[in-house]
Amino acid sequence: MPTTPASSNPRNLRNDIVFAFALAIACYLAWFVRDVLMLVYVSALFAVVLTPLVRSTSSFRIRNWRPFKGKAVLVLLLVLVGALVAFCYLALPPVIHDLQTFGQEAPARLPGILDKLKRIPLLERLNDTEISGKVQDFASNAATYLLTSIKNWVGILFNVVMGFILTVYFILEGDTAYAWFLSFFPPAKRDRLDQALRRAELRMGKWLVGQAGLMLVLGISSTIVFLALHVRYAYALGVLAGALNIIPVIGAAFTIALALLVAAIDSWGRVLGIAIFYLIYLQVENAYLTPRIMRSSVNLPGLAILISLLLGSELAGIPGAMVSVPTAVLVSVLVDEFLVYKSEP
C-alpha cells in the first residue's frame, strides 16, 4: 500500500506561511520607499528606451573606423549639453536685454500698463490705486509662494539629477542588471521571459520615435503661429514648446503660460490668438495625433494609450505620465505571452 509523504505537507505549509509573511513585509517596506522605487523604475525604462540610440551611435562608421565605440553615452551627453548651451546662448540674451530695458522704463510705462489692465473685464471698474494694490498683492503672494516652495523645487531638481545619473548607469550596466534579474527565475521559464522582454524592448524603443514626432509637430506649429502673430522670441518659444512636450500636461501648461505672458507684453489680441491656437491644438493632439502616432509606433490601440496616460498621471504624477506608454507596451507583451490563451492554428 503506497504511503503519502505526510511529513512534507507541514513543511510545504510552513514554507507558504513564511513566504506570505516575507511578501507582506516586502510590500510594507516598498510602500515607504515607493518614491525611490518609482525613480528607479522610471530611470530603468528610459534606459531601455535610449539604449537603441546608444547602440546606433556606437556602431556609426567612417569606413572601417568607429569613432564613438565605447563613447556613445559620453557623445550623447555632450550633444545634449551642447544643445542646452546653444539654446541658452541664443535665447537668453534678448530676454535679459528686454528685462533690463523694461526695468529702466518701468516708471514711465506704468500708466500705460495700468491702462491695459483696465481693459480687462474684471478690472475695468477699479481705479488706478486699486489696480496698483492688486498688482502689488499678486506680486507679494507670488514671491511668498516662491520662497515657501523652494524646498519642493530643490527636491524635484535632486530627483531629476538622480534619475539622469541612474539612467546613465542603467545604460552602462544594464546587461549585468538584466542577467541578475533573470537569475531569480527557473531556467525553464527564464528563456521564455527573456524572449518576451526583448520583444517588449524593441517596441518600447519605438516609443521615443513617436514622442519625437509629437514634439516636432508641436514645435513647428507653435513657431509658425508665434511668427504669424509677431510674438517676441518666437523661435525660442517654439523650441521650448516642442522640447517640453515630452512632459505630459505640465510641459504644455508651462509653455502655454509662458507664451501667453510674453504675448501680453505687446497685445491682448496676440494673447487671444495663442489661447485659441493651443485650445485647438490640444484637442487635436489628445484626440487624434497622440493615439495615431503612438499606435503606429508602439502597436497599441488608441484607447489603451489614452487609458495608460490617465492611469500613469493619476498613480505617479508627471513621472508616471512620462513612462505610461512604455509601461503599457511592457504589460501588453507580458499579458499576451503569459495570460492570453492562443487558439491552435
DSSP string, 191-254: HHHHHHHHHHHHHHHHHHHHHHHHHHHHHHHHHHHHHHTT-TTHHHHHHHHHHHTTSTTHHHHH
Does residue 8 lie in a domain region? no
pLDDT band at 277 (very low <50, low <70, confident <90, very high): very high
Contact yes or no for 295/301 (Cβ under 8 A): yes
- List, for residues 44-64, the tens digit of each pLDDT value: 888 888 888 888 888 778 777
- List, for residues 182-234, the tens digit of each pLDDT value: 888 888 888 889 999 998 888 888 888 888 888 899 999 999 999 999 888 88
pLDDT at 64: 77
Strand partners, 283: none
pLDDT at 6: 47
Average pLDDT rounded to a whole number, residues 277-299: 82
Does pLDDT of 15 surpass 60?
yes
Does pLDDT of 325 surpass 70?
yes
Does residue 4 lie in a domain region? no
pLDDT at 224: 93
Sign of CA dihedral 287, 289, 290, 293: positive
Contact yes or no for 210/296 (Cβ under 8 A): yes
Residues 51 and 93 in one domain: yes
Last residue of a domain, one of 184, 201, 226: 184
Does residue 14 lie in a domain region? no
Phi/psi of residue 248, each to 5°?
A: -60, 145
Q: How many domains does the chain have?
A: 2
Contact yes or no for 270/231 (Cβ under 8 A): yes
Does residue 13 lie in a domain region? no
pLDDT at 83: 87
Show the CA angle centred on residue 215, arms to residues 211 and 220, nearest 5°. 150
Does pLDDT of 293 surpass 50?
yes
Residues 78 and 145 in one domain: yes
Residues 209 and 120 in one domain: no
Does pLDDT of 334 surpass 50?
yes
pLDDT at 276: 93
Q: Report the alpha-carbon distance of residue 297 to residue 329 in Å, rounded.
A: 11
pLDDT over 70 for what percent of the chain? 79
Does residue 95 lie in a domain region? yes
Residues 128 and 47 in one domain: yes
Last residue of a domain, one of 136, 167, 184: 184
Does pLDDT of 8 surpass 60?
no
Does residue 18 lie in a domain region? no
pLDDT at 1: 47
Task: Give the list of residues 6+ apart from residue 98 with CB closer than 8 angstroms, or none.
Answer: 232
Does pLDDT of 139 surpass 80?
no
Q: Supply the range of the domain harboring residue 179.
A: 31-184
Residues 147 and 204 in one domain: no
**Cell numbers 507558504 correspond to what residue?**
16
Helices marked H in the chain:
8-32, 34-58, 72-118, 128-148, 150-182, 187-228, 234-244, 250-264, 268-284, 290-298, 302-322, 324-338
Last residue of a domain, one of 184, 203, 232: 184
DSSP single-letter state for residue 64: T
Does pLDDT of 250 surpass 70?
yes
**Cell numbers 541664443 correspond to what residue?**
90
Does pLDDT of 308 surpass 90?
no
- List, for residues 85-129, the tens digit of each pLDDT value: 888 888 888 878 777 776 666 666 666 666 665 565 555 555 555
Which among 289, 234, 290, 284 is positioned nearest to 258, based on CA atoms? Answer: 234
